[in-house]
């Protein structure tokens, strides 16, 4: 893909990937269900002088996006496992395929659920960060609902001048295994499905690359 390729960042959140891609010269459209996240993404793009179109859209129905024929669609940071059934995964794969030009690509990342579904961890982290001299601690608790679904709780303790504050948020995921996602993409019309490990891609999660056939 050339630097002027058109990219759809699906489930873009606060624009983590969108901002970097736009800075590199790509023409980026970002979509997400969260109005709050999109507002933050617009603010971050404005601060950096980047032109990015952000729109509200559900990956289960991308028909509200008038554009199509994107050179690539991104779906990063474990977004697809938010879908709560195999059927929804298949629908989302079809919707994404409808936005990719022939020969274009889907690039997505998920957690290594092939391993995690066997280990069934109940805690992730603790991770320690320092931002502008202030410390931050992040960890997660996972409550497994059944063999494939779990509810996660994220706790972020942040150091402020007047002391520490802790934020708690939660959500649910479905542990999507690679064979299931590969099958959904193939059924949707993608081919040449390739999985890349973090050591190969440099990204922190396993990445799947598939070409629209």
Q: Spelled out in words, what is the top-level CATH class assigned to the domain 6-110+176-212?
A: alpha beta
- What's the burial of 102, exposed, middle or buried (CB within 10 Å: 0-12/13-18/19+)? exposed
Specify the pLDDT at position 10: 97
| Angle, vertex CA 112, rays to CA 149 and CA 142, nearest 5 | 40
pLDDT of residue 132: 82
Locate 5 and state its tokens.
Answer: 């390729």
Q: Are 176 and 78 in contact (CB under 8 A)?
A: no
Domain residue extents for the chain: 6-110+176-212, 114-174
Give me the numbers of helices (H) and strands (E) for the chain, helices first please.
6, 11
What CA–CA distance (Å, rounded) separates 91 from 85? 10
State which CATH number among 1.10.1200, 1.10.3430, 2.20.25, 2.40.50 fits the domain covering 114-174.
2.20.25
In this predicted structure, what is the pLDDT of residue 133? Answer: 86
What is the bridge-based pairing of β-strands 100-109 and 207-212?
antiparallel
Per-residue pLDDT of the chain (213 residues; tens, 9 = 90+): 655 799 999 999 999 999 999 999 999 999 999 999 999 999 999 999 999 999 999 999 999 998 889 999 999 999 999 999 999 999 999 999 999 999 999 999 999 999 999 999 999 999 999 988 899 999 999 999 999 999 999 999 999 989 999 999 999 999 999 999 999 999 999 999 999 999 999 999 999 999 999
């Amino acid at each position: 893909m050339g630097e002027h390729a058109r990219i759809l960042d699906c489930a873009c959140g606060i624009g983590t990937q969108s901002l970097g891609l736009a800075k590199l010269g790509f023409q980026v459209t970002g979509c997400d269900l969260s109005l709050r996240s999109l507002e933050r993404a617009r603010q971050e793009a404005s601060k950096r002088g980047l032109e990015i179109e952000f729109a509200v859209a559900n990956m289960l129905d991308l028909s509200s996006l008038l554009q199509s024929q994107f050179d690539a669609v991104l779906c990063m940071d474990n977004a697809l496992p938010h879908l709560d059934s195999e059927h929804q995964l298949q629908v989302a794969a079809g919707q994404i395929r409808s936005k990719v030009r022939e020969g274009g690509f889907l690039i997505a990342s998920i957690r290594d659920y092939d391993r995690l579904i066997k280990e069934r961890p109940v805690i992730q982290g603790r991770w320690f960060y320092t931002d502008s001299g202030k410390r931050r601690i992040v960890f997660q608790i996972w409550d497994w609902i059944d063999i494939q679904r779990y509810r996660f709780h994220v706790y972020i303790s942040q150091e402020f001048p007047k002391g520490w504050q802790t934020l708690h948020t939660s959500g649910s995921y479905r542990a999507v295994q690679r064979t299931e996602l590969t099958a959904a993409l193939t059924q949707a019309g993608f081919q040449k499905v390739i999985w890349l490990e973090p050591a190969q891609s440099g990204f922190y999660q396993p990445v799947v690359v598939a070409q629209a056939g």
